[in-house]
Structure formats: structure tokens, C-alpha cells
Structure 1
Amino acid sequence: MTPVPRLPRASQRGITLFGLLFWALLVGFIGYVLVRAVPTINEYLTIKRAVEKVAAGQPATVAEARTAFDRQKEVEYSIASIDSKDLVITKENDKVVIGFAYDKEIPLFGPVYLLLKYEGQAKAP
């Protein structure tokens, strides 16, 4: 009976337990950050949509634009980071331009936070 030849260790392939744990921790951490950040991205897109609606309505005054945004904020319950007083309302070439900017801190664990800076603007068509 002839013995079965063993393959050299260099030709064996696979993943080590430490490698598997490393990748599991990395994917888990990225997933955790995404789960915490996606609601803020959704809020940003909702704010941008609301500002674009207000700008499309061609408000005549700054107070009218702020009131229109407050009405949009009442309809869209997910807007919590800014108020109408945080809007920057200007006119360019007789068109209303509404801008906004805000920071969102997302607590990750302990004293570690993720800071996201959002800004946008909408011009009247």
C-alpha cells in the first residue's frame, strides 16, 4: 500500500479564523454606520424636495417663503433638523433661490460621533 502524497502547505488555500473575524467585524461596522446614517440622508432628501417645492411656488417675500416651508414641514414629518429661520433666501435674476446648510451628529458608540454636513439650494424654475 503506497502512502498518499501530501500537498505542500503553500498550495493549500483557505481563510483563517482571524481573517474571517476581521472581515465579519469590518462588514458589521460598515453596516452599523449605514443603518445609523441612512435616516439622515432620507431627511436631507426630504428637505431638498420641500425647498424645491417652495422655490417653484415663486414666493413674493421672504416671510411668504418661510411660511410655505413651515407648511411643507408640517406635511413631511421627517424634517426635524432645520426650521424656516435656517433657510437662506435670496433672489438671482428675479428668481427666488432658497439655500440651507446644517450639520448632523450621529452617535456611534461612547464618545465617538460621525459628523455629516448637509447643504443644498433650490432655484425657482
Structure 2
Amino acid sequence: MKNQRGVAISGLLLWGFVIVLIALLGMKVAPEYMDYFKILKSVKSISAGASDQTVPQIRAAFDKYADVNYLKTINGSDLDISKEGNAVVIAFSYEKRIPLFYNVSLLIDFHGSSSGN
């Protein structure tokens, strides 16, 4: 009698279900991380040239970046702007709730700063 090799249909269905769940989770979470990295890039580019600007000018510059990059998550008034030495540090934090299914959702806390901390 020969030994059988291969995958049983139950194993195939189980692994297919797991792969589909991971793919769906990735499709829901990936856009939020892309928005986070767009915000971080905008904040870093604004802080690089903001040594002589006032706080309202920095907030207005971020709002312009947000309009161009279609960022609706935060706006200029949500930024924490401070000065460390001669450098302007722009920090932000926000929460994003991603509905997964029925009454289950995923909550992600995003924090970022132009100083890299």
C-alpha cells in the first residue's frame, strides 16, 4: 500500500480561512498606516523650514499639506508645536478605530514627532 501525500480538504479550508482573515485585516489596517506616514512626512518637512515661522503659520502650512495629500484624520489645530534649542518640534497623536466585523473593532494609537522621538 502506498503512502498518500498532499493536503486534506479540511486543512485546505482551514488555511484558506486563516489567509483570508489576515488579508482582510491587512486591507483595513494598511490605509491607516499610510495616512500616518503621510502625516509624519508632512510634519517633518514643515519643521525643517519652520525656524522663523510662528505657530499659526506652521498650522496653516500643515493644513495646506493636508489638503494636497487628502489627509482628513487631523488638522493644524491638533498639532503640538514646541521649540527645542533652535529647532521647531511638531508632535501629534490621535486614535483610529477600525471596525472589523459586527461589534468588534481595532483601536490604534498613533504618535509621531518631527524630532524622531
Normalised by the length of structure 2, the TM-score is: 0.90
**Where do 5+ consecutive residues of structure 1 fail to align?**
1-5
Unaligned 5+ residue runs, structure 2?
none
- Aligned residue pairs total 114
Structure-1 residue corresponding to 2:24? 32
Cα separation, 2, equivalents of 1:66 and 1:92: 18
Match of 2:7 in 1: 15
Question: Root-mean-square deviation (CA), in Å?
Answer: 1.3
1:13 Cα deviation from its structure 2 partner = 2.6
Asked if 1:73 is matched to 2:66, the reply is yes
Report matched runs for 1:70-109 at 5 Å. Answer: 70-77=63-70, 79-109=71-101
Specify the alignment match of 2:47 in structure 1. Answer: 55
Output the CA distance in 2 between the equivalents of 1:18 and 1:101: 44
1:65-114 deviation line (CA, Å, top 9, x unaligned): 1111111112111x111111111111111210001111111111110111
Identity level (%)? 37
Instruction: Select the structure of larger CA radius of gyration.
Output: 1
Inter-partner Cα distance in structure 1 for 2:106 and 2:14: 22
Superposed CA offset, 1:28-80 (max 9, x none) = 00000111111111111111111112101115321121111111112111x11
In the alignment, residue 82 of structure 2 is paired with which amino acid? T
SS at match of 1:14: coil
What is residue 36 of structure 2 aligned with on the other side?
44
TM-score normalized by structure 1?
0.84
